[in-house]
Structure 1
Amino acid sequence: MKSKFIIILLTTFLSLNIAWSVFAKEKPEDEFYSTLSKNEQKYKEYQNATLNIRRKLNGSSELRELEKELAKYGYRDLSYDYPDIEVYFFASIYEDKYMVIRKYAVYDLKGNFLNGGFGRTAKRDAVNNGEFNGWKDKDSKDKGKEDNLADDNPTD
Protein backbone atom coordinates (compact mmCIF):
# COMPACT_ATOMS: atom_id res chain seq x y z
CA MET A 1 0.00 0.00 0.00
CA LYS A 2 2.77 2.42 0.96
CA SER A 3 4.78 1.67 -2.19
CA LYS A 4 1.71 2.29 -4.40
CA PHE A 5 1.23 5.67 -2.75
CA ILE A 6 4.87 6.57 -3.36
CA ILE A 7 4.66 5.47 -7.00
CA ILE A 8 1.49 7.53 -7.52
CA LEU A 9 3.08 10.54 -5.84
CA LEU A 10 6.26 10.27 -7.93
CA THR A 11 4.27 9.81 -11.13
CA THR A 12 2.18 12.89 -10.35
CA PHE A 13 5.27 14.96 -9.56
CA LEU A 14 7.05 13.91 -12.75
CA SER A 15 3.93 14.62 -14.83
CA LEU A 16 3.69 18.12 -13.40
CA ASN A 17 7.38 18.74 -14.09
CA ILE A 18 7.04 17.59 -17.68
CA ALA A 19 3.86 19.62 -18.17
CA TRP A 20 5.59 22.79 -16.87
CA SER A 21 8.55 22.27 -19.19
CA VAL A 22 6.31 21.78 -22.20
CA PHE A 23 4.26 24.86 -21.27
CA ALA A 24 7.35 27.00 -20.83
CA LYS A 25 8.83 25.89 -24.16
CA GLU A 26 5.64 26.84 -25.95
CA LYS A 27 5.29 30.22 -24.24
CA PRO A 28 5.82 33.00 -26.80
CA GLU A 29 8.41 35.67 -26.02
CA ASP A 30 5.85 38.47 -25.74
CA GLU A 31 3.72 36.51 -23.28
CA PHE A 32 6.77 35.60 -21.19
CA TYR A 33 7.91 39.25 -21.16
CA SER A 34 4.49 40.50 -20.09
CA THR A 35 4.52 38.20 -17.07
CA LEU A 36 7.98 39.47 -16.09
CA SER A 37 7.04 43.12 -16.29
CA LYS A 38 4.18 42.54 -13.85
CA ASN A 39 6.11 40.48 -11.32
CA GLU A 40 9.64 41.84 -11.10
CA GLN A 41 11.76 44.80 -12.02
CA LYS A 42 15.14 43.36 -13.10
CA TYR A 43 14.43 44.25 -16.72
CA LYS A 44 12.01 46.62 -18.37
CA GLU A 45 12.18 47.91 -21.95
CA TYR A 46 12.57 51.60 -22.73
CA GLN A 47 9.21 52.94 -23.92
CA ASN A 48 10.90 55.15 -26.51
CA ALA A 49 13.49 52.55 -27.54
CA THR A 50 14.92 52.57 -31.02
CA LEU A 51 14.90 48.77 -30.93
CA ASN A 52 13.47 46.16 -28.55
CA ILE A 53 14.42 42.51 -28.97
CA ARG A 54 12.55 39.56 -27.50
CA ARG A 55 13.91 36.16 -28.54
CA LYS A 56 14.01 32.61 -27.33
CA LEU A 57 17.49 31.16 -27.88
CA ASN A 58 19.11 27.79 -27.41
CA GLY A 59 21.77 28.80 -24.92
CA SER A 60 25.19 30.23 -25.40
CA SER A 61 25.81 29.26 -29.04
CA GLU A 62 22.80 31.21 -30.34
CA LEU A 63 23.57 34.03 -27.89
CA ARG A 64 27.02 34.38 -29.47
CA GLU A 65 25.40 34.71 -32.89
CA LEU A 66 23.00 37.35 -31.61
CA GLU A 67 25.91 39.19 -30.01
CA LYS A 68 27.49 39.50 -33.47
CA GLU A 69 24.26 40.99 -34.83
CA LEU A 70 24.12 43.51 -31.97
CA ALA A 71 27.81 44.50 -32.06
CA LYS A 72 26.94 47.72 -33.89
CA TYR A 73 25.10 48.82 -30.72
CA GLY A 74 28.07 48.01 -28.48
CA TYR A 75 26.96 44.61 -27.17
CA ARG A 76 30.05 42.60 -26.30
CA ASP A 77 30.87 39.81 -23.90
CA LEU A 78 27.37 38.69 -23.07
CA SER A 79 27.68 36.02 -20.42
CA TYR A 80 27.87 32.41 -21.61
CA ASP A 81 28.25 30.73 -18.24
CA TYR A 82 25.17 28.55 -18.47
CA PRO A 83 24.88 25.38 -20.53
CA ASP A 84 23.15 25.14 -23.89
CA ILE A 85 19.63 25.41 -22.55
CA GLU A 86 16.77 27.38 -24.00
CA VAL A 87 16.65 30.92 -22.65
CA TYR A 88 14.73 34.11 -23.23
CA PHE A 89 16.86 37.07 -24.30
CA PHE A 90 15.55 40.64 -24.08
CA ALA A 91 17.35 43.81 -25.17
CA SER A 92 16.30 47.44 -25.29
CA ILE A 93 18.31 50.02 -27.22
CA TYR A 94 17.92 53.78 -27.35
CA GLU A 95 19.92 55.59 -30.02
CA ASP A 96 20.10 59.19 -31.11
CA LYS A 97 22.74 61.18 -33.00
CA TYR A 98 24.87 61.58 -29.84
CA MET A 99 24.78 58.22 -28.04
CA VAL A 100 23.61 54.63 -27.74
CA ILE A 101 22.14 53.38 -24.46
CA ARG A 102 21.50 49.66 -24.14
CA LYS A 103 20.50 47.00 -21.67
CA TYR A 104 19.71 43.31 -21.80
CA ALA A 105 18.48 40.42 -19.68
CA VAL A 106 18.62 36.63 -20.00
CA TYR A 107 16.07 34.36 -18.28
CA ASP A 108 15.62 30.62 -18.15
CA LEU A 109 12.27 29.15 -19.20
CA LYS A 110 11.02 29.17 -15.60
CA GLY A 111 11.54 32.92 -15.29
CA ASN A 112 14.77 32.89 -13.30
CA PHE A 113 17.04 35.84 -14.07
CA LEU A 114 20.40 34.49 -15.33
CA ASN A 115 22.27 37.57 -16.49
CA GLY A 116 21.82 41.16 -17.51
CA GLY A 117 23.68 44.33 -18.19
CA PHE A 118 23.60 47.98 -19.10
CA GLY A 119 25.90 50.16 -21.15
CA ARG A 120 26.25 53.47 -22.88
CA THR A 121 28.44 54.73 -25.69
CA ALA A 122 28.97 58.22 -27.04
CA LYS A 123 29.11 58.35 -30.83
CA ARG A 124 32.54 59.23 -32.18
CA ASP A 125 31.25 61.79 -34.71
CA ALA A 126 29.25 63.64 -32.04
CA VAL A 127 32.31 63.78 -29.77
CA ASN A 128 34.67 64.87 -32.57
CA ASN A 129 32.24 67.56 -33.73
CA GLY A 130 31.81 68.91 -30.20
CA GLU A 131 28.09 68.01 -30.18
CA PHE A 132 28.41 65.56 -27.30
CA ASN A 133 29.60 67.22 -24.11
CA GLY A 134 29.91 64.20 -21.86
CA TRP A 135 27.62 62.46 -19.46
CA LYS A 136 25.75 64.73 -17.07
CA ASP A 137 26.52 64.61 -13.36
CA LYS A 138 23.69 63.39 -11.12
CA ASP A 139 23.80 66.64 -9.13
CA SER A 140 24.01 68.95 -12.12
CA LYS A 141 21.39 71.37 -13.34
CA ASP A 142 20.60 68.84 -16.08
CA LYS A 143 19.64 66.18 -13.54
CA GLY A 144 17.62 63.42 -15.10
CA LYS A 145 19.85 62.79 -18.08
CA GLU A 146 21.78 59.54 -18.65
CA ASP A 147 22.95 58.80 -15.10
CA ASN A 148 19.39 58.87 -13.81
CA LEU A 149 17.79 56.81 -16.56
CA ALA A 150 14.20 55.87 -16.07
CA ASP A 151 13.21 52.55 -17.60
CA ASP A 152 10.48 54.16 -19.63
CA ASN A 153 12.55 57.02 -21.05
CA PRO A 154 16.34 56.90 -21.16
CA THR A 155 16.84 60.60 -21.84
CA ASP A 156 14.47 62.08 -19.26
Structure 2
Amino acid sequence: MRNIQTKVICLGVAAAALAGCSSLPMKRSDIVKASASCQDFTVSIYFDRDSASVTREARAVLRDASSMAAGCKIDKVTVTGLADAVGAPNANLQLSQSRAKAVEQALARAGFPSVEFSTAAVGDAGAVTADGQARPLRRRADVAVDLGGPH
Protein backbone atom coordinates (compact mmCIF):
# COMPACT_ATOMS: atom_id res chain seq x y z
CA MET A 1 0.00 0.00 0.00
CA ARG A 2 2.84 2.36 0.86
CA ASN A 3 4.36 1.78 -2.59
CA ILE A 4 1.09 2.81 -4.26
CA GLN A 5 0.85 5.97 -2.12
CA THR A 6 4.41 6.93 -3.10
CA LYS A 7 3.60 6.47 -6.80
CA VAL A 8 0.41 8.56 -6.47
CA ILE A 9 2.32 11.35 -4.73
CA CYS A 10 5.04 11.29 -7.41
CA LEU A 11 2.45 11.42 -10.18
CA GLY A 12 0.72 14.35 -8.46
CA VAL A 13 3.99 16.27 -8.17
CA ALA A 14 4.83 15.56 -11.81
CA ALA A 15 1.38 16.70 -12.95
CA ALA A 16 1.70 19.93 -10.96
CA ALA A 17 5.13 20.60 -12.44
CA LEU A 18 3.86 20.06 -15.97
CA ALA A 19 0.88 22.32 -15.35
CA GLY A 20 3.29 25.14 -14.59
CA CYS A 21 4.80 24.68 -18.05
CA SER A 22 1.51 25.15 -19.86
CA SER A 23 2.60 28.55 -21.18
CA LEU A 24 5.49 27.02 -23.13
CA PRO A 25 6.64 27.33 -25.83
CA MET A 26 7.30 31.05 -25.64
CA LYS A 27 6.97 33.33 -28.59
CA ARG A 28 9.87 35.47 -29.72
CA SER A 29 7.92 38.61 -28.81
CA ASP A 30 7.71 37.36 -25.19
CA ILE A 31 11.48 37.50 -24.77
CA VAL A 32 12.66 40.68 -23.10
CA LYS A 33 15.93 42.07 -24.40
CA ALA A 34 18.37 43.67 -21.99
CA SER A 35 18.65 47.37 -22.61
CA ALA A 36 22.01 48.91 -23.43
CA SER A 37 23.94 50.17 -20.40
CA CYS A 38 24.97 53.38 -22.20
CA GLN A 39 27.86 54.17 -19.89
CA ASP A 40 30.81 56.23 -21.12
CA PHE A 41 33.91 54.17 -21.84
CA THR A 42 37.47 54.41 -23.15
CA VAL A 43 39.46 51.87 -25.15
CA SER A 44 43.13 52.00 -26.07
CA ILE A 45 44.48 50.89 -29.43
CA TYR A 46 48.16 49.93 -29.38
CA PHE A 47 50.60 50.24 -32.27
CA ASP A 48 53.97 48.84 -33.17
CA ARG A 49 56.93 51.19 -32.93
CA ASP A 50 56.91 53.88 -35.64
CA SER A 51 53.61 52.55 -37.01
CA ALA A 52 50.13 53.93 -37.52
CA SER A 53 48.74 50.66 -38.92
CA VAL A 54 45.71 49.33 -37.06
CA THR A 55 46.31 45.66 -36.23
CA ARG A 56 43.81 42.82 -36.45
CA GLU A 57 43.61 42.76 -32.64
CA ALA A 58 42.94 46.50 -32.58
CA ARG A 59 40.16 46.11 -35.15
CA ALA A 60 38.54 43.51 -32.86
CA VAL A 61 38.71 45.99 -29.96
CA LEU A 62 37.05 48.63 -32.14
CA ARG A 63 34.28 46.21 -33.18
CA ASP A 64 33.67 45.54 -29.48
CA ALA A 65 33.51 49.29 -28.87
CA SER A 66 30.92 49.57 -31.63
CA SER A 67 28.88 46.83 -29.94
CA MET A 68 29.15 48.57 -26.57
CA ALA A 69 27.71 51.75 -28.09
CA ALA A 70 24.91 49.97 -29.95
CA GLY A 71 21.47 51.20 -28.94
CA CYS A 72 22.87 54.30 -27.26
CA LYS A 73 22.86 57.97 -28.17
CA ILE A 74 26.46 58.99 -28.80
CA ASP A 75 27.23 62.46 -27.49
CA LYS A 76 30.92 62.60 -28.35
CA VAL A 77 33.84 60.44 -29.53
CA THR A 78 37.37 61.68 -28.97
CA VAL A 79 40.36 59.89 -30.49
CA THR A 80 43.73 60.95 -29.05
CA GLY A 81 46.92 59.77 -30.71
CA LEU A 82 50.06 59.36 -28.61
CA ALA A 83 53.70 58.47 -29.24
CA ASP A 84 56.66 57.44 -27.14
CA ALA A 85 59.74 59.59 -26.55
CA VAL A 86 61.94 57.84 -29.12
CA GLY A 87 62.75 60.08 -32.08
CA ALA A 88 62.27 63.73 -32.89
CA PRO A 89 59.34 65.55 -31.24
CA ASN A 90 57.93 66.76 -34.59
CA ALA A 91 58.05 63.23 -36.02
CA ASN A 92 56.30 61.90 -32.90
CA LEU A 93 53.57 64.52 -33.19
CA GLN A 94 53.06 63.58 -36.84
CA LEU A 95 52.95 59.89 -35.91
CA SER A 96 50.39 60.47 -33.17
CA GLN A 97 48.23 62.43 -35.64
CA SER A 98 48.45 59.54 -38.11
CA ARG A 99 47.48 57.08 -35.37
CA ALA A 100 44.43 59.13 -34.39
CA LYS A 101 43.30 59.39 -38.03
CA ALA A 102 43.86 55.64 -38.63
CA VAL A 103 41.75 54.76 -35.58
CA GLU A 104 39.00 57.16 -36.66
CA GLN A 105 38.85 55.46 -40.07
CA ALA A 106 38.94 51.98 -38.50
CA LEU A 107 36.04 52.92 -36.20
CA ALA A 108 33.94 53.83 -39.22
CA ARG A 109 34.83 50.52 -40.91
CA ALA A 110 34.03 48.62 -37.69
CA GLY A 111 30.43 49.80 -37.93
CA PHE A 112 30.65 52.54 -35.35
CA PRO A 113 27.56 54.70 -35.63
CA SER A 114 27.93 57.75 -37.83
CA VAL A 115 29.08 60.49 -35.53
CA GLU A 116 31.45 63.42 -35.72
CA PHE A 117 34.81 62.44 -34.27
CA SER A 118 37.07 64.79 -32.41
CA THR A 119 40.72 63.92 -32.94
CA ALA A 120 43.74 65.14 -31.06
CA ALA A 121 47.43 64.33 -31.09
CA VAL A 122 49.86 64.89 -28.26
CA GLY A 123 53.00 63.42 -29.77
CA ASP A 124 55.55 62.46 -27.14
CA ALA A 125 54.36 65.00 -24.55
CA GLY A 126 54.27 63.16 -21.23
CA ALA A 127 56.08 60.12 -22.64
CA VAL A 128 58.98 60.36 -20.19
CA THR A 129 58.55 59.75 -16.47
CA ALA A 130 59.95 62.10 -13.81
CA ASP A 131 62.98 59.81 -13.45
CA GLY A 132 63.71 59.95 -17.20
CA GLN A 133 62.25 56.57 -18.24
CA ALA A 134 60.54 56.36 -21.63
CA ARG A 135 57.01 54.94 -21.67
CA PRO A 136 56.62 52.52 -24.59
CA LEU A 137 52.91 52.04 -23.82
CA ARG A 138 52.45 55.52 -25.24
CA ARG A 139 52.44 53.91 -28.69
CA ARG A 140 48.67 54.08 -28.81
CA ALA A 141 45.49 55.98 -29.53
CA ASP A 142 42.82 56.36 -26.85
CA VAL A 143 39.16 56.37 -27.87
CA ALA A 144 36.83 58.05 -25.36
CA VAL A 145 33.14 57.48 -26.05
CA ASP A 146 30.61 59.65 -24.23
CA LEU A 147 27.11 58.17 -24.36
CA GLY A 148 23.89 59.98 -23.58
CA GLY A 149 21.50 57.12 -22.87
CA PRO A 150 19.41 54.64 -24.85
CA HIS A 151 17.89 55.58 -28.21
Does the alignment reach a TM-score above 0.5?
no
- Normalised to the residue count of structure 2, the TM-score between the two structures is 0.22
- Choose between structure 1 and 2 for higher RCO, CA contacts under 8 A separated by at least 6 residues: 2
- Normalised to the residue count of structure 1, the TM-score between the two structures is 0.21
